[in-house]
Amino acid sequence: MSSLGQHAENHLVDRIGWMRAAVLGANDGIVSTASLIVGVAAAAANQNGVLIAGVAGLVAGAMAMAAGEYVSVSSQSDTEQADLARERKELSENPASELDELAEIYVKRGVDQALARQVAQQLMAKDALSAHAHDELGITKITKARPVQAALTSAASFSVGAAMPLLMVVVSPAGTLVPLVSAASLGFLALLGAIGARAGGANVLRATVRVTFWGALAMALTAGIGKLFGTVI
Ligand SMILES: [Zn+2]
């Protein structure tokens, strides 16, 4: 079991795992809180009301992120644990057919019969469960589930993202709240998109444009709704 996690190489994919979760969380925090703030402010609420709505949005969003991540990663973890338990049982009860099974996997990938058998034998001699987990079940270090870590990462990064537009509410002079919060939030989103793309080795411009577009759309939508309800009520 523990041998699955002892992979010293530091690939890009390894970083993308938590980095992606953190960037996505912060991204959600900025978009949802900025949209909430812009919507409430457009409905002509005072600065205090906007701030309360924003803080409530931060807490609600962070909790929703944590709960969602925990549940989804836990169920993934349960499935993986059940798969590993079944595999462990099969390996102890029927090692010969498990060897055939693993060799067959390599044959299907294009390795010839004799070599596939040799590879399977050597891998199973070192760590049979790890070899089967990796090549038969697709469970590697990268997909290994950590629900509490995922929940905390999401909640924390969402809160950091949400704090940015909230901070803008505090420092914006009266009357400039909507344009300042919108502009600053789009700036934060663009910066975050660029950081995320750079860390993941992806195209920086494309990622930045994509994330800013959705942020702008969300804010425009809530501002419109806020204005509509603000004038109706
Ligand atoms: Zn197996």
CA of 28 to the centre of ligand 1 (A): 40
pLDDT at 161: 93
pTM (2 decimals)? 0.72
CA of 83 to the centre of ligand 1 (A): 10
Q: Please list, residue by residue across 198-214, b when 16 or more beta carbons sit within 10 angstroms of its beta carbon and e when fewer do.
A: eebeeeeeebbeebbee
Q: Which residue positions in the chain have pLDDT lower than 50?
A: 1-13
CA of 148 to the centre of ligand 1 (A): 29
CA of 137 to the centre of ligand 1 (A): 8
pLDDT at 186: 93
